[in-house]
């Protein structure tokens, strides 16, 4: 449990990464009560300097002794690091909010989106999991509709930006654009194929079923967060040449009929959601609209004419922010209450 204090010692594991940098920015913006910020990363970047509230802070190498005196650690350095170091931190009395996939489906670890299932935090045992970026934005938008009309089935196709893979992937997209505009053939390194001017229907590893692990995360995490194993989910996840912002085409079937207008009205008063839906005026969410924004944007809300109780939605959010760093900091804020 996080002991009540006026100021906390907070570590960010993976502080030099795409998500870690956003975590530090969000902690600063939201004035999280911090006495000392400890940025941790690998030996590769240890010694580098970051800025927090206008002051330099030196990145330290993550080791088994890093967590002495640390109250709270936000982890964002991949599953292997989380599997190894989150239990070490928790045993040292640090509360861990983990952004990797390492602990999400562990039944003893709460998987939390503050707008959706804050109650799941109760009784945590030192490790709390932050869901996958695509799952977070989808459940923020769907939970209010589920509460009203009970969702039976979700069909989702994602259009995920390269920042979801990390900073090397962002560099790769930029480099490939530069090469191609200079009539040079790029050599893919992070992704199996060229990502610039292309779409890859492949995120994370393929499973024998033909689905990818990312697609399975969307199904399993959605059911765990909604606390409803009866919701059927099928996903296709696609990497697109966008730097920041994940988009999702989501089709839902509900038990009770929900009109597009009813859905719009419900979502317009739902926490964390911004309805951005006026096609007549070409108002619909796009990744460029959501960069740096906290809300999950929802547009293109319309009834599915092929089935009695179906709705289509287009859901867009900043994957580094609500999809990762902001959600983690919001969980930390809940722990302070």
Ligand X SMILES: NC(=O)c1ccc[n+]([C@@H]2O[C@H](COP(=O)([O-])OP(=O)(O)OC[C@H]3O[C@@H](n4cnc5c(N)ncnc54)[C@H](OP(=O)(O)O)[C@@H]3O)[C@@H](O)[C@H]2O)c1
Q: What is the β-pairing status of strands 34-41 and 296-303?
A: unpaired
> Which residue number, 62 or 151, has a Cβ lying nearer to ligand X?
62
Ranges within 46-75 binding ligand X (CB under 6 A):
62
Number of residues that this document lists for the chain: 337
Q: Does 328 bind ligand X (CB under 6 A)?
A: no
Residue 66 near residue 11, CB atoms below 8 Å? yes
CB of 163 to ligand X, least distance (A): 5
Shortest Å distance, C-beta 215 to ligand X: 15
CB atoms within 10 A of CB 2: 16
Nearer of residues 85 and 276 to ligand X, judged by Cβ: 85
- Taking CB under 6 A as the criterion, which residues in 167-186 touch ligand X? 167-168
List Cα–Cα distances, 112 to 5, 95, 117, 158, in angstroms. Answer: 23, 14, 6, 21
213 binds ligand X (CB under 6 A): no
The distance of closest approach from Cβ of residue 255 to ligand X in the complex, given in angstroms and rounded to an integer, is 31
Q: C-beta of 77: minimal distance to ligand X in Å?
A: 3
* Helices then strands, each counted (H, E), the chain: 8, 14
Site for ligand X in 83-102 (CB under 6 A): 99-100
Alpha-carbon span 253 to 146, nearest angstrom: 10
Among positions 232-271, residues that touch ligand X (CB under 6 A) are none
Interaction of residue 166 with ligand X, rule CB under 6 A: yes
Phi, psi dihedral angles at 10 (to 5 degrees): -120, 125
- Is 53 annotated as catalytic? no
Q: In sequence order, what are the residues at sequence separation of 6 or more whose Cβ sits closer than 8 angstroms to the Cβ of residue 22?
A: 320, 321, 324, 325, 326
Which residue in 119, 202, 246, 281 is the catalytic one? Answer: 246
Q: Which of 133, 146, 177, 281 is catalytic?
A: 133
Helix (H) or strand (E) holding 154: strand 151-160
The interface region with ligand X, picked from 150-158, 266-274, 300-308, 315-323 by CB under 6 A, is 315-323
Contact pick of 76, 222, 270, 312 for ligand X (by CB under 6 A) = 76
Q: Can you tell me the distance from the alpha carbon of 142 to that of 12, in angstroms, rounded to the nearest whole number? A: 30
Number of Cβ within 10 Å of residue 250's Cβ equals 21
Q: Which is nearer to ligand X, 19 or 301 (CB)?
A: 19
Tell me: does residue 18 bind ligand X (CB under 6 A): yes
Nearer to ligand X, 29 or 171 (CB): 171
> Which among 151, 144, 110 is positioned nearest to 127, based on CA atoms?
110
| Number of chain positions touching ligand X (CB under 6 A) | 29
> Which long-range CB contacts under 8 A does 5-9 form with residues at least 24 apart?
5/33, 5/71, 6/33, 7/33, 7/34, 7/35, 8/32, 8/33, 8/34, 8/35, 8/71, 8/72, 9/34, 9/35, 9/36, 9/38, 9/69, 9/70, 9/71, 9/72
Q: Scan residues 125-164 and list those touching ligand X (CB under 6 A).
A: 133, 163-164
Q: In this structure, are strands 232-239 and 151-160 parallel, antiparallel, or unpaired? A: parallel
Does the footprint of ligand X cover residue 320 (CB under 6 A)?
yes
Among 137, 194, 212, 319, binds ligand X (CB under 6 A): 319
Q: Which stretch binds ligand X (CB under 6 A): 15-23, 112-120, 224-232, 298-306?
A: 15-23
Active site residue 133: yes
> Applying CB under 6 A, does 226 fall inside the site for ligand X?
no
Contact set with ligand X (CB under 6 A): 14-20, 41-42, 44-45, 62, 76-79, 81, 99-100, 133, 163-164, 166-168, 319-320, 323-324
Where in the sequence numbering do the catalytic residues fall? Answer: 133, 246
């Amino acid at each position: 449990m996080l002991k009540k204090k006026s100021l906390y010692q907070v570590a960010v594991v993976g502080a030099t990464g795409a998500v870690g940098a956003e975590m530090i920015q969000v902690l600063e913006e939201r004035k999280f009560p911090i006495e000392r910020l400890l940025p941790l990363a690998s030996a590769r970047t240890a010694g580098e300097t970051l800025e927090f509230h206008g002051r330099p802070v030196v990145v330290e190498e993550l080791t088994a002794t890093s967590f002495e005196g640390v109250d709270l650690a936000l982890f964002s350095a991949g599953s292997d690091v989380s599997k190894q170091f989150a239990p070490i931190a928790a045993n040292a009395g640090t509360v861990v909010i983990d952004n990797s996939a390492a602990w999400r489906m562990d039944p003893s670890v709460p998987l939390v989106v503050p707008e959706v299932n804050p109650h799941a935090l109760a009784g945590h045992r030192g490790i709390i999991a932050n869901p996958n970026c695509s799952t977070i934005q989808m459940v923020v938008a769907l939970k209010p509709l589920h509460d009203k009309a009970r969702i039976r089935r979700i069909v989702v196709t994602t259009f995920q930006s390269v920042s979801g893979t990390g900073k090397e992937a962002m560099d790769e997209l930029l480099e490939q654009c530069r090469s191609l505009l200079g009539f040079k053939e790029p050599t893919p390194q992070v992704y199996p194929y060229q990502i610039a001017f292309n779409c890859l229907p492949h995120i994370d590893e393929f499973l024998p079923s033909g689905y990818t692990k990312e697609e399975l995360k969307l199904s399993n995490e959605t059911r765990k967060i909604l606390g409803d194993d009866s919701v059927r989910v099928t996903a296709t996840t696609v990497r697109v040449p966008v730097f920041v912002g994940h988009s999702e085409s989501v089709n839902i079937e509900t038990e009770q009929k929900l009109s597009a207008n009813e859905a719009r009205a419900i979502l317009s008063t739902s926490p964390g959601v911004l309805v951005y839906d006026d096609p007549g005026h070409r108002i619909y969410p796009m990744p460029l609209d959501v960069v740096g924004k906290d809300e999950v944007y929802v547009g293109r809300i319309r009834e599915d004419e092929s089935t009695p109780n179906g709705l289509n939605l287009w859901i867009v959010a900043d994957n580094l922010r609500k999809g990762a760093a902001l959600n983690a900091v919001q969980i930390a804020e809940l722990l302070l209450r």
